[in-house]
Structure 1
């Protein structure tokens, strides 16, 4: 099986603010956790679609790698309550 990437669907950014005090690198909350295969010919880049068919372009890639945590779930335990049911079903097969 190819490398699996844990992808974070992030909350939409807040409306543009006139204040320069807001950092552009401000962390956005995770809304849903998805799984994606590696891009064709790569082991370091997620593919264009998650297991449930969502576009990965605007998602964040988690540092959690299932291949480094054998015997654990494919997703980051911190976000267990936010796991996409469709991605989880595919990962169970």
Structure 2
């Protein structure tokens, strides 16, 4: 699972960050957890779309979470199981 980035869809869309401003979505509640392929030439930035087809522009990468890749382990942070996008989860199961 090395090419997957876990991203959070936030309750309130946030505009792009101004230089020196707070990180996008800082303090916003997580609405749903998605999986996105990593952007080309990086392992830390999500590509433009999640596996379910949503735009990742206003989403935030899950802090300090990387899927382990171990068989049977979740691709998402276990404490966020109730927020997982069913379409991304199905795509990860197929993958």
- For this structure pair, what is the TM-score category when the shorter chain's length is used for normalisation? 0.7 to 0.9
TM-score when scaled to structure 1? 0.78
**SS of aligned partner of 2:90:** helix
What do the CA deviations read for 1:29-78 (whole angstroms, capped 9, x no partner)?
100000000112322221000000000010010021104x6342000111
- The number of aligned residues is 82
Superposition pairs of residues 7-86 of structure 1, within 5 angstroms: 7-12=7-12, 26-62=26-62, 63-67=64-68, 70-71=70-71, 72-86=73-87
Cα distance in 2 between the residues matched to 1:66 and 1:35: 10
- Mark the runs of 5 or more structure 2 residues left unpaired by the alignment: 14-21
Please report the RMSD computed on the Cα atoms of aligned residues, expressed in angstroms: 1.9
The structure that has the greater radius of gyration is 1
**SS of aligned partner of 1:31:** strand
- The answer (yes or no) to whether the contact 1:5–1:61 under 8 Å persists in 2 is yes
- Mark the runs of 5 or more structure 1 residues left unpaired by the alignment: 14-23
Structure 1 equivalent of residue 91 of structure 2: 90
